[in-house]
Structure 1
Amino acid sequence: MSFNPRTMARPLWAALRALLVLTVVTGVAYPLVITGVAQAAFDDRAGGSMVSADGREVGSELIGQTWNDAHGDPDPHWFQPRPSNSGYDPLATGSSQLGASDPTLLETVRETREAVAAFNGVAPEDVPPDAVTGSSSAIDPHISPAYADIQVARVAEENGLPQDAVRRLVEDHTEGRDLGFLGQERVNVLLLNLALRELTAG
């Protein structure tokens, strides 16, 4: 059987054309269409769910951040987020990868529990789990209502506000389960602290 270059070239050229067409459709056209639809229908979410205050962006509803003083220590005037091993760096997401029985993790949790208890003036046994453990992404912007609750007295005292007013802020910013049954109730720390700032300014 003789070798015919044209016979070999025909399927190769067809495969190359198919590759080019699929690259344009799935790699260019489809992403552009989906991005356009997202921008039109969900502009704020498609843009990163950015939050603005005083005419400038101060963060994203989807990414946690630290609330520290000038020395880098947790600022008692603000509600504090859960720990993050990446410092809430969105380019370095991921958990510590330590197992539940790892001695390093156990010691870190113990030390963090004591620090959180002392910072908020509560007993160590009253400190909820999310106050001493980071999320799997390390950038979770939410805390549990229980963690927000143990911070109410401190935040109220530091800002000269009635505890009832601060507790109402927490209640107003407590988000329910998704679809009524998925996940847990949670509080977005950024939105809560922005509301707190408005309350103190008033």
Structure 2
Amino acid sequence: MERLPSWLRGHLAALRAVIVLTLLTGVLYPLAVTGVAQAFFGGRADGSLLSSGGRQVGSAVVGQSFTDQRGEPVRRYFQSRPSAAGYDMLATAASNLGPEDVVDTLPDPAGADDAAREGSRSLLTQVCARSAAIGRLEGVSGARPYCTPDGVGAVLKVFPATGTPTRAVSVNQACPAAPFLARYQGVAVECGRPGEDYAAGRTVPVRGSAPIPVVPADAVTASGSGLDPDISVAYARLQAPRVAGERGIALARVFTLIEEHTTGRGLGFMGEPAVNVLRLNLALDRG
């Protein structure tokens, strides 16, 4: 029998390799992994889904919001940690903003594009705004260092950048807002004007006189994934009086449920104890 041309033998060998590898890695391996997962890990392999009233309401390992159609917190439920991804598993991400991100871009109605017209909030202002909102929701002080009373970053731009100040601007408070500080080193503080460039000034965050914050850090900062299903014990206990009052149940009962749904440190020493929000809210609904 006449031998096949070398170029054709090469193509056939490549085709056989594709078929074999497709069967091994695309069919047999996924089937084996799925079989082992279903046999030994059951619910976790299916996403740790939780049900209530005969319907699936979420996953124990993925955070979700407990808000109404207007985006307002439902007062009878514990609230989750903030999410930079909107709790969307297809958009899981962090904000990628760091501790030096303290200056907002004020919304400019006369801006050249949508981004300029909408502006953007710095990480500091996001933290301040969340803390103020949680303070109002829980009936506690939402004040924290480096935040203004109206819930934005307490940051000045001072001109010139070096030497004796001749001008100071509260860059995160858009006019006609009253600046959080009347004077800085003898200079009257101005409100921020949208569209004005303050890049040449020296950035001066002002700590203020706020005490140690009542609102814990995980209540005002998003997790790295944006899908954290847990909150700290401190944040859960802060919310307990509101939830108990809305549901008309004893506060001691709510504290007991928090304790029952608290997981310890990983391997006994990593991280901090945490409370699973969805499991806790389902336990409350069950009474």
TM-score clears 0.5: yes
Is 1:192 aligned to residue 191 of structure 2? no
SS of match in other structure, 1:86: coil
| Other-structure match for 1:113 | 131
Supply the distance in 1 between the matched residues of 2:4 and 2:283 (Cα, whole angstroms).
73
Is 1:21 aligned to residue 20 of structure 2? yes
Structure 2: runs of 5 or more not aligned: 103-121, 143-212
Supply the distance in 1 between the matched residues of 2:74 and 2:56 (Cα, whole angstroms).
21
Q: 1:166 to 1:13 in 2, by over 3 A?
A: same
In the TM superposition, residue 116 of structure 1 has moved relative to its aligned partner by: 0.9
| Other-structure match for 1:122 | 140
| Other-structure match for 2:83 | 84
Structure 1: runs of 5 or more not aligned: none
In the TM superposition, residue 33 of structure 1 has moved relative to its aligned partner by: 1.0
Deviations 1:122-159, CA, capped at 9 Å, x for gaps: 23311111100111111211111111011111111111
In the TM superposition, residue 5 of structure 1 has moved relative to its aligned partner by: 7.4
Give the alignment's Cα RMSD to 1 decimal.
1.8
Supply the distance in 2 between the matched residues of 1:120 and 1:75 (Cα, whole angstroms).
12
SS of match in other structure, 2:89: coil
Q: Which amino acid aligns with 2:234?
A: A
Supply the distance in 2 between the matched residues of 1:106 and 1:58 (Cα, whole angstroms).
33
- TM-score, normalising length from structure 2? 0.64
Q: Which amino acid aligns with 1:183?
A: G
Of 139-148 and 91-100, more deviation after overlay is shown by: 91-100
In the TM superposition, residue 70 of structure 1 has moved relative to its aligned partner by: 4.4
In the TM superposition, residue 179 of structure 1 has moved relative to its aligned partner by: 2.1
Is 1:154 aligned to residue 242 of structure 2? yes
Structure with bigger gyration radius? 2
Supply the distance in 2 between the matched residues of 1:184 and 1:9 (Cα, whole angstroms).
63
Q: 1:57 to 1:12 in 2, by over 3 A?
A: same
SS of match in other structure, 1:48: coil
Structure with the higher fraction of residues in strand conformation: 2
Deviations 1:31-88, CA, capped at 9 Å, x for gaps: 1111111112222111111101111111111111111134320011110001113321
In the TM superposition, residue 99 of structure 1 has moved relative to its aligned partner by: 1.8
Q: Which amino acid aligns with 2:240?
A: V
In the TM superposition, residue 182 of structure 1 has moved relative to its aligned partner by: 2.9
Q: 1:1-202 alignment to 2 at 5 Å? A: 6-103=5-102, 104-124=122-142, 125-199=213-287
Q: Which amino acid aligns with 1:33?
A: A
In the TM superposition, residue 8 of structure 1 has moved relative to its aligned partner by: 4.4
Q: Which amino acid aligns with 1:26?
A: T
SS of match in other structure, 2:91: coil
Q: 1:100 to 1:5 in 2, by over 3 A?
A: farther
Of 7-16 and 123-132, more deviation after overlay is shown by: 7-16
Q: Which amino acid aligns with 1:71?
A: R
In the TM superposition, residue 11 of structure 1 has moved relative to its aligned partner by: 4.4
SS of match in other structure, 1:91: helix
Supply the distance in 1 between the matched residues of 2:41 and 2:24 (Cα, whole angstroms).
23
Supply the distance in 2 between the matched residues of 1:81 and 1:90 (Cα, whole angstroms).
15
Q: Which amino acid aligns with 2:12?
A: W
Supply the distance in 1 between the matched residues of 2:274 and 2:239 (Cα, whole angstroms).
14
In the TM superposition, residue 120 of structure 1 has moved relative to its aligned partner by: 1.0
Q: Which amino acid aligns with 2:264?
A: G
Of 35-44 and 4-13, more deviation after overlay is shown by: 4-13
